[in-house]
Structure 1
Amino acid sequence: MTEFSGARSLRERVDMVAESLSKTIAITFSENCDAPETQITFRSFAVDVRNRTSALLRSGVAPGDVIGAFMPLTPVSYQTLLAAMVVGTVAPLNYLLEAEALIDLLRQVKASVLLTSATAAEDPTFPGKVAIIRNALPDLKVVVFGDAQIAPGTVELDALMSETGEDWPDGLPNDTCRNMVLMLTGGTTGKPKIVPHTEAMYLALLEAGAHAQGALKGERMLSALPLFHTSGTLNAGLIPLMAGASIFIPSARGYRDPDVAKRFWELVERYRITLGAAVPTALAAIASNPPTGPVSGFKHILTGGAPLPQATAEAIRESTGAFVVNGWGMTETCGFSVLNPVDNPRIETVGVPFDCIQAEVRLPAADGNLTVQAGTDQIGELVVRGATVITHYLDDYPDAFTPDRWLRTGDLARIDANGHLTITGRQKDIIIRGGHNIDPEIIEGPAYRHPAVELAAAVGRPDSYAGEVPILFVQLKPDVRLEESELLEFVRPLIVERAAIPKSVHILGVMPLSGPGKISKLILRREAARQVFQHEADAIAGSGKIAVSVHDDARHGIVAELRGVNEIPESVRKDIDEKLKQYSIAARWAEGVTS
C-alpha cells in the first residue's frame, strides 16, 4: 500500500499527494525535444485541478454531464482531464479522426459538452475540425482550454479560472460507483463499444497499478502516450502522478514525434528518467536507436498491447541494462491488469495478475459455454474479473461475459505452473487455413529475428480453396534494404508449422498503426483481400476495367465494393459475382463509374 491508499475519492487522493509532495515537480513538459520545459509542482497541479473544476461548473457544465474530450498533450491536459472527471462523465476521444467520425462518436456517448484544447500539435486541421463539429451539433456546449484564439460562441475555460484553488467547489458528485470515464474500444467493424470506468475502479487501480508498475514516489516516468487511450490517461499518467511519481512529456506530439524514439536515451539522461512506457511499435524504434554512452538510473520500460519481439527486449537490455517489462490489459480492465515483476521480467510472458484481478484460462463445455477451466499450460480463452474490470458495457453485449459474469477477453492464453500468463494469440487474429488454426506469432517471431525487420504482422489472405492463407507484411529499419524473396527464404526454415509458411511477403514503407500505436491488422487484412479481389476482377474483365475497394460491414464483415471504369456488361458482373462467392465474401457494385 502507498501512503495515499486511504483516499476515499479521487479528489481526496489529489489533496493527499499535493500535501505530501507540495514542492516536488509533478509534470515537466516540452513542446518538442529541444524546446524549453515547463515545470509544475504537485501543489500547483492540485490547485490547477481545483481551479479548473470550479471553472467548468462556472461555464455551465453540470455535475453528471457527459463531456466529450479532445485532449492533446499540453502542460495542463492532465489537470483539465481530472477536473472534468470530478465534475461529470468524460469520454476522451481520438481527435485525430475525421470530423464526421468524431460527430458520430459524440452522438453515441450522448455528449452535451465538448471540452477541447484550442490546438493540437500533430494536427494542423484541428481548429477547422472543431468548427465542423460545432456546425453539425449546434446544441453542443464547446469549452476550450489553452492559449489560442477561440471561435465565437465557445466558452474560454481559462478566463473563468479566477479562484485561488485552495478548496473544491460545492455540489460535486460523491458516488464512487458512478461512471467517471467512458472509453471507446473497437469500432473498426461497426459501432465501437462504450466502456464505463467508475471512480471506485480508478481508486483500486491507482494502488494496484502503482506497485505493479514500480511507479512510486520519487520515480520519474517518460510519458508520451495519447490521452484518448488508457495507456496515456492511466498507465503513463494518473497512476504515476497519483502515487507521487513525476512524469516528463518530451513532445506535444508524443511518440508521433520521431525525435522522441530517436533521442529517447538522450532524454533519459538529460531529465534523469527512471521509468518509461511505450507500445511495441515505439519500442522497436527506441531499440533501433541505441544510446551513444552509458545509461544511468533507468530501471525499466513498460510495454503491452501487442506481441513483444524478444529481439527488441534483448537489444534494449544489452545496450542499457534496463528491463523491458511486458504486460497485458484491455480498455475493459482499465489498461494493465497483468504485468511481469519489474525487477525480474520474463520476456515470453505477460506476467501475473494485479492483486485486485483474477484471471483464468477456460475451454468451452459441452453446451458451448466457457465454463471449463483449462489445465496448466493448456491454451484456451482468457477470462478476468476484479476491482478494475467492468461488469457491463454501456450498451448490451451479453456474449461479452461468461454465465458466471467473468469478462471474455477474446485472447488465447495459457497459464504456467508458476502462475505466469502467456498470450498465444487473439481469436479474431487467428489465421484459419483449411480448418487449421495458425497463430500469427509463429510467423512474426521468425521475421523479427531478421536484423533488417523493425515491424512485422502476419494476416490471413482470402483463398478460394483454403479459406485463408498466411501472408506477411513488414516494415524495415531505416536505411536498410531487403528483398521480399530474401526475407521469405530467411523465415521459411524458422517457422515450425509448414502450413504457416507465408504465401507472400510484402515490404511496406510505413506499417499502418491504430491511434494508440498498435499495428492495425484490420487495415492489412483489408489490403490483402483487396489485392485478391482486384486480381480476380482483372482476370475476368481485363486489367484496369474495374476498381476494387474493401470495407468492413457490421453485419457482413468484409465486403468488396466494385466500380467499373466504364459501363460493365451484366454478364461480366455476374461472372465476377460468382467468382467472389467462392471466397464467402459479400460483393456489391457501386453505382456509376470511376472518374
Structure 2
Amino acid sequence: MDFDAVLLPPRRARMLAQGLWHERTINDDLQACLQACPDKLALTAVRVEAGDTRAFTYRELARMADRVAVGLSRLGVGRNDVVACQLPNWWQFTVTYLACSRIGAVMSPLMHIFRERELSFMLKHGQAKVMIVPKSFRGFDFEAMLAGLKPSLPDLQRVVVVDGQGPDSFEALLSGPAWEQEPDAQQVLTGSRPGPDDVTQLIYTSGTTGEPKGVMHSANTVMANIIPYAQRLQLDAEDVVLMASPMAHQTGFMYGLMMPIMLKASAVLQDIWAPHKAIELIRAHQVSFTMASTPFLTDLAKTVAESGQGVPTLRTFLCAGAPIPGALVEQARAALGAKIVSAWGMTENGAVTLTKLDDEDERSFSTDGCPLPGVELKVVDADDRSLPPGQPGRLLLRACSNFGGYLQRPHLNGTDAEDWFDTGDLARIDERGYVRITGRSKDVIIRGGENIPVVEIESLLYRHPAIAMAAIVAYPDERLGERACAVVVPRPGQQIELAQIQAFLKSQKVAIQYVPERLIVRETLPSTPSGKIQKFKLREMLRDGLA
C-alpha cells in the first residue's frame, strides 16, 4: 500500500523543534519494558462469555509479538502491508499490533459491530492483505461472513481465525509455531522496522460523505497525544489500566493498548461490558484508571451503589463521547470515590481536551476540558474570523497529534496551510480556555460513543419501495446520549412501520447499532426553498415532543 500521509512532512521540523514529537515507536517502548521490568505483569485479557483469562509478563508479551510477527511474514506480510483486525478486546489484538510494528506492517483495527457492508468498503479501500477475525463473538459467525466476502476482495490473501480449526486458525498460523526460533527470525524482526513517521495505524471513521474515511497515524502523532495525556492524568508505571472500551476505537487503542506499554504499567482487557465483571476486575487487579463513554460510567456507578461492592483503588474515570450530566458526576463521585474527568477528542487526533485532576467537579459536567499541551484551539465564524470567549462558532484545532491525512482522500483532509484542522464541531471557549462542544456542523449521530454514518443510512432508506423521503436525526437518550430516529414520508398509497425499516436495513448488512430505533411518519418534511431538508427543525420537534 502507498500511504499518502501528506500532512506529516510539512510540520515535522516544527514539531521536533518544539519537542512535541518524540521520535520513537512502540518497539522502543516495549524494549524499554524488557530492560526495566521483564517479569512485570503487562497484560491480563478477560473473555467474559468464554470465562477464560490469559496473562502475559512483558517478557512473554514480547516473545509472542516476535512469534506472530514472523508468522505474518510467512503469510507474505511486509513493510506497509495492511493487516486488518476485527477482534474484541482479546490478547490477540494487542499482540497483532505489536507484531505488525516489528515488521513495518500497518494495522487497521475494525469494530466488531461491522458487517458486510462496512467491511467490503474498508477492506477494499485499505487493500488489506490479511484479515484477523474471531471464529464467533456474541453469537455471530465472523468466519462465515469473511468466507462470503473474500471472493470480492482481490487484495485479501488470507483470513486468519482466532479459535478457528485447521490451517487457517490464528493458533496454527501465528501463535502456535515457535517462529521466533527460526534461523531467519532476527532478520525478519529487525530488517523492516518502521520509523516514527511511517504510518502505523489505519483506522476508519464515519463521516458525512456517505462512506468511511481511513485515518492515517504515525508513531509520532499518536505518541504526541498519549504522553501529555498520561502526564495530565498523573499516570505512571504503578498504575493499572482497565480497558473495556473497544480497542478498535482510539480510546481503547491509544489508552488501553499503547499507553500501558509506554508507561511500563499493567493493562486489564475486558471484551464485553458487564459492570459486575468490571467491579470484580477492578478489585482483583487494583485498577486505578479507566476510560469509557457515559453509559459505562452510569452502569458502573449504579452497580457499585446497588451491590455495595466498592472500588477503592479506582482513582480516575475519564469519560468522553458525550456530555456528562451533572447528576451523574455527583452520583459517580459518591459511589466510586474516583475523580471524574471529562474529555473530548477525535479519531484524527486522540483526546484533545481534558479537565484537570485539581479542577472543581463542576468543570466535568459544564465543560469538555481544556487543551492538552501541543494543542491550540480557536472558535471562528462563517468567514473564519476568530470569535471572543463565550461566543459559539466552528471549532478549529492545530495539534501535534493531528493525523497524517485520509487515505486516498486528501481533498477531505480539512487542514489549511497553517495546519488548522476543521473539526466539524460547533463550540465555545470560556475565559479560562475550557471548551464546550455545543453541536455539530457535520451530520453525525453519536450513540454511546459510536458514530452513526447518517448519510449512508439515509441513502439506503431511499431504496425502500415504500419511502419517498427520509431523514435520520438524533434524539436524546439518558444512557447512550443519543439514538437515531428515522423521519420518513411514504410513497402514495404506502404504509411503513419501524419493524419494516429495521428488517430492510439488516438485510443490507449494516451494523445493528446503525439501525434507527424510532420512526416518525409525516406527510412532508421541513425544507429550504431549494429543497434541502431542515434537520434542525426535525430535531427541535423531537426535543419538544411535537413529533
The TM-score with structure 2 as length reference comes to 0.75
1:110 matched residue in structure 2? 127
1:358 to 376, 398, 403: 376
Per the TM alignment, residue 133 of structure 1 is displaced from its structure 2 partner at its CA by 2.2
Matched, 1:181 2:133: no
Per the TM alignment, residue 83 of structure 1 is displaced from its structure 2 partner at its CA by 1.5
Among the aligned pairs, what percent are the same residue?
Answer: 24
C-alpha separation between the residues in 1 aligned to 2:295 and 2:310? 24
Matched, 1:375 2:388: yes
Matched, 1:267 2:284: no
2:227 matched residue in structure 1? 207
Per the TM alignment, residue 202 of structure 1 is displaced from its structure 2 partner at its CA by 2.5
1:49 matched residue in structure 2? 65
Per the TM alignment, residue 581 of structure 1 is displaced from its structure 2 partner at its CA by 8.7
C-alpha separation between the residues in 1 aligned to 2:101 and 2:243? 20
2:264 to 244, 249, 268: 244
2:115 matched residue in structure 1? 98
Assess, with a 3 A threshold, how the Cα gap between structure 1 residues 188 and 290 changes in structure 2: closer, same or farther: farther
Assess, with a 3 A threshold, how the Cα gap between structure 1 residues 189 and 9 changes in structure 2: closer, same or farther: closer
C-alpha separation between the residues in 1 aligned to 2:225 and 2:474? 39
C-alpha separation between the residues in 1 aligned to 2:229 and 2:203? 18
2:135 to 115, 119, 123: 119
Matched, 1:541 2:493: yes
Do the aligned partners of 1:215 and 1:240 also contact (CA within 8 Å) in 2?
A: no
Summarize deviations over 1:391-448 as a string: whole Å, max 9, x none: 5322133572345331101111122222222222222469xxxxxxxxx99xx9xxxx
1:393 matched residue in structure 2? 406
Do the aligned partners of 1:150 and 1:156 also contact (CA within 8 Å) in 2?
A: no
C-alpha separation between the residues in 2 aligned to 1:581 and 1:279? 33
1:419 matched residue in structure 2? 433
Per the TM alignment, residue 20 of structure 1 is displaced from its structure 2 partner at its CA by 1.4
Assess, with a 3 A threshold, how the Cα gap between structure 1 residues 343 and 28 changes in structure 2: closer, same or farther: farther
Matched, 1:277 2:291: yes
C-alpha separation between the residues in 2 aligned to 1:389 and 1:471? 28
Summarize deviations over 1:4-58 as a string: whole Å, max 9, x none: x977332111101222121211111222289353221122212222222222222
1:340 matched residue in structure 2? 355
Residue 191 of structure 2 aligns to a residue whose secondary structure is coil
1:515 matched residue in structure 2? none
Assess, with a 3 A threshold, how the Cα gap between structure 1 residues 349 and 162 changes in structure 2: closer, same or farther: same
Per the TM alignment, residue 472 of structure 1 is displaced from its structure 2 partner at its CA by 4.7
C-alpha separation between the residues in 2 aligned to 1:311 and 1:158? 47
How many correspondences in the alignment?
464
Assess, with a 3 A threshold, how the Cα gap between structure 1 residues 34 and 320 changes in structure 2: closer, same or farther: farther
Residue 427 of structure 2 aligns to a residue whose secondary structure is strand
1:384 to 381, 386, 397: 397
Q: Quick one: which amino acid aligns to residue 405 of structure 1?
A: D
Do the aligned partners of 2:290 and 2:317 also contact (CA within 8 Å) in 1?
A: yes
Q: Quick one: which amino acid aligns to residue 327 of structure 1?
A: A
Per the TM alignment, residue 282 of structure 1 is displaced from its structure 2 partner at its CA by 2.1
Do the aligned partners of 1:85 and 1:181 also contact (CA within 8 Å) in 2?
A: no
1:571 matched residue in structure 2? none
Per the TM alignment, residue 187 of structure 1 is displaced from its structure 2 partner at its CA by 4.8
Q: Quick one: which amino acid aligns to residue 541 of structure 1?
A: G
Assess, with a 3 A threshold, how the Cα gap between structure 1 residues 201 and 399 changes in structure 2: closer, same or farther: closer
1:30 matched residue in structure 2? 46
1:297 to 313, 316, 320: 313
Summarize deviations over 1:552-574 as a string: whole Å, max 9, x none: 9xxxxxxxxxxxxxxxxxxxxxx
C-alpha separation between the residues in 1 aligned to 2:115 and 2:227? 37
C-alpha separation between the residues in 2 aligned to 1:542 and 1:9? 58
1:194 to 202, 214, 230: 214
**Larger RCO (CA within 8 A; separation ≥ 6):** 2
Q: Quick one: which amino acid aligns to residue 390 of structure 1?
A: F
The TM-score with structure 1 as length reference comes to 0.69
Per the TM alignment, residue 339 of structure 1 is displaced from its structure 2 partner at its CA by 1.0
Do the aligned partners of 1:235 and 1:336 also contact (CA within 8 Å) in 2?
A: no
Do the aligned partners of 1:91 and 1:181 also contact (CA within 8 Å) in 2?
A: yes
Summarize deviations over 1:467-504 as a string: whole Å, max 9, x none: 9999855468xxxxxxxxxxxxxxxxxxxxxxxxxxxx
Q: Quick one: which amino acid aligns to residue 362 of structure 1?
A: V
Do the aligned partners of 1:413 and 1:423 also contact (CA within 8 Å) in 2?
A: yes
Per the TM alignment, residue 264 of structure 1 is displaced from its structure 2 partner at its CA by 3.2
C-alpha separation between the residues in 2 aligned to 1:160 and 1:360? 53
Per the TM alignment, residue 208 of structure 1 is displaced from its structure 2 partner at its CA by 1.9
Do the aligned partners of 2:29 and 2:261 also contact (CA within 8 Å) in 1?
A: no
Assess, with a 3 A threshold, how the Cα gap between structure 1 residues 161 and 397 changes in structure 2: closer, same or farther: farther
Per the TM alignment, residue 118 of structure 1 is displaced from its structure 2 partner at its CA by 4.0
Assess, with a 3 A threshold, how the Cα gap between structure 1 residues 410 and 15 changes in structure 2: closer, same or farther: same
Do the aligned partners of 1:391 and 1:405 also contact (CA within 8 Å) in 2?
A: no
Do the aligned partners of 1:213 and 1:342 also contact (CA within 8 Å) in 2?
A: yes
C-alpha separation between the residues in 2 aligned to 1:9 and 1:468? 44
1:500 matched residue in structure 2? none
C-alpha separation between the residues in 2 aligned to 1:406 and 1:12? 31
Unpaired stretches in structure 2, ≥5 consecutive residues: 1-20, 455-469, 506-520, 534-547
Map 1:315-330 onto structure 2 (within 5 A).
315-330=331-346
Per the TM alignment, residue 153 of structure 1 is displaced from its structure 2 partner at its CA by 10
C-alpha separation between the residues in 1 aligned to 2:411 and 2:110? 21
Bigger Cα Rg: 1
Assess, with a 3 A threshold, how the Cα gap between structure 1 residues 141 and 215 changes in structure 2: closer, same or farther: farther
C-alpha separation between the residues in 1 aligned to 2:24 and 2:474? 52
Do the aligned partners of 1:69 and 1:116 also contact (CA within 8 Å) in 2?
A: yes
Unpaired stretches in structure 1, ≥5 consecutive residues: 431-439, 445-456, 460-466, 477-517, 553-575, 587-595
Do the aligned partners of 2:46 and 2:269 also contact (CA within 8 Å) in 1?
A: yes
C-alpha separation between the residues in 2 aligned to 1:357 and 1:307? 21
Do the aligned partners of 1:70 and 1:115 also contact (CA within 8 Å) in 2?
A: yes
C-alpha separation between the residues in 2 aligned to 1:31 and 1:116? 17
Map 1:58-207 onto structure 2 (within 5 A).
58-86=74-102, 87-111=104-128, 113-137=129-153, 139-144=155-160, 146-150=162-166, 156-164=173-181, 169-187=189-207, 190-207=210-227
Say which is worse superposed, 30-39 or 79-88, in terms of deviation: 30-39
Residue 231 of structure 1 aligns to a residue whose secondary structure is helix
Assess, with a 3 A threshold, how the Cα gap between structure 1 residues 424 and 39 changes in structure 2: closer, same or farther: same
Residue 244 of structure 2 aligns to a residue whose secondary structure is coil
Residue 323 of structure 2 aligns to a residue whose secondary structure is coil
Matched, 1:409 2:423: yes
